[in-house]
Amino acid sequence: MATKSTLFALLIGGLAAWSSAFAPAANTNRHAVPGVPAAALGDPRIVPAGGRATALRMWGNDDEIEGQDRIKSCIPYLLPLIDGDHFAKYINLRFPPLGLVDSVTISPLANLVDSVPFLSLILFLVLSLGTRALNLSRPIKFNAQQAVLIDVALIFPELIG
């Protein structure tokens, strides 16, 4: 479990570098339904020949995520990464290179959050409640809510151990 926090930091860097690999291929229709023209899926007034619609579009438009939104989508994951950093101490003792990476990247942020009283709680509330009011894109809101759930999941090992 402790290696996940260090590997997650490396994964974020790799995803930012290879973000173009996640772009959908050109001319793909992920919402294709047999017998329903692609234009009918976006227009609620068009009903297929059978008399009732067989598919609903869940996401509106399929715009690609821009570069800035990809970076902004990674930022909320710093909260569970910082809160779970103390789980890394055992793996850092066994693998000193990972401990060095942790001490350079994550530990300064964890020390900053620990030095300010209730900062972790404030960040948690901002991510859980603040994303509803802001005009953020859907992937950023989704990643913020997912980071909150991961942070909640980190509470259980602390309660048990």
Tens of pLDDT, residue by residue, the chain (161 residues): 456 656 565 556 555 544 444 444 444 445 555 555 555 555 555 555 555 555 544 455 555 677 888 898 999 999 999 999 989 999 999 999 999 999 999 999 999 999 999 999 999 999 989 888 778 888 889 999 999 999 999 989 888 87
Can you give the pLDDT at residue 80? 94
Can you give the pLDDT at residue 69? 87
Can you give the pLDDT at residue 21? 44
User: Phi and psi (nearest 5°) for 149?
Assistant: -65, -40
pTM over 0.75: no
**Which tokens go with 68?**
């800035």
CA distance 52 to 73: 37
Using an 8 Å Cβ cutoff, are 98 and 92 in contact? yes
